[in-house]
Amino acid sequence: MVNSGLSSGPNGLCKHTTTQPSSIEEEGFRYGRAQGYIDAMTDKTLIPASPSEDDYVRQVAGAEALPQLPEDDPFALFNAWLTEALGKEPNDANAMSLATVDADGLPDVRMVLLKEADARGFVFYTNVESAKGRELAANPKAALLFHWKSLRRQVRVRGAVSPVSPEEADAYWATRARPAQLGAWASSQSRPLPDRLAFEKKIAEFGLKFGLGKVPRPPHWSGFRVAPQAIEFWRDRPFRLHERLVFSRGESGAWTTHRLFP
C-alpha cells in the first residue's frame, strides 16, 4: 500500500507526498490539486473573512453593557426597535422579507414594506393577483424577517395571513402618490412584460383614463395581515453568542416567552 500525506513545500505551502510515487506525472497532478485548493482558499474573494478573536475583543471593549431583552410585550419591543431603526437605517427601515410557498411547496421570498403593525399583526399591500397574492390565497401562512444592519438586530415573525378590510385598503390607498396609484393599475405584477415601453404605455393610458380626477383603488390591489403565532427578537453579541428571545402565542391569545441558544 502507498502511504501518503501533506508536507511543507516551497514558500511554506503544502504539497502532496507519497512514500512510493507511482510516476512523476501522478505526483505532479496531486501537487497541482493541493496547490489549487490552497490558492482557492487563500485568494481574496467578495465574501468577508470571519472576524478574528482580536476583532471580537475590540468589539467587546467598545460595546455598552446591555440588559436582557424584556419579556412583557412583543409589540412594544418591536415598536421600540423599529423607532430606533428609523433613525439609524439609511433607507426603508420598514422593509421586510416575506416568505411564502408555491403550489409545489417551494419557498418563495421577496422584500415588501411594512405599512402597519399592532396587536392584530403586520400589514403590507400588494397586487393580490401577483405571485405572492396567489400563493397566500392557496396557503395563507407566511414568515417575515426584519434585518436592521445598523443596529445588528433581527425580528422574525411567523403566522397566519388574512386580507385587510376594504376600508383599511382604501385608507392606505389614499395616502399613495398619484404616479404610484397609476402604476398599480398598469402593472400586471409577476406576469411577463414584453418590454419597459409596454409598461410605460399602460401607465400613460390610465393617466388619460382618470385625467385629473381621483384614482380609485383597483379591485386587484389590497393588503394582507400576518397575525403572528411567534415573534423572535435576535440581538448581535460578540463571539456570535447572540441573544434570542421568542414570544409564542397560545390558543387563548396569551404570550409565553422562551430563550434560544444562538
Positions annotated as catalytic residues are 240
Residue 67: which residues within 8 A CB-CB, separation 6 or more? none
Torsion angle (degrees, nearest 10) of CA 82, 84, 89, 94: 10
Place of cell 467587546: 60
Determine phi and psi for 113, rounding to 5 degrees.
Answer: -110, 130
For 121, the enclosing helix (H) or strand (E) is strand 121-127
Let me know the angle formed at the C-alpha of 96 by 114 and 105, rounded to the nearest 5 degrees: 115
Among 226, 227, 230, residue whose Cα is nearest residue 246: 230
Contact status, residue 223 vs residue 216, Cβ threshold 8 Å:
no
Among 118, 117, 94, 98, residue whose Cα is nearest residue 107: 98
Q: DSSP 3-state assignment of 43?
A: coil
Determine phi and psi for 30, rounding to 5 degrees.
Answer: -65, -40
Q: Which residues of 195-216 are buried (b: 16+ CB within 10 A; e: fewer)?
A: eeeeeeebbeebbeeeeeeebe
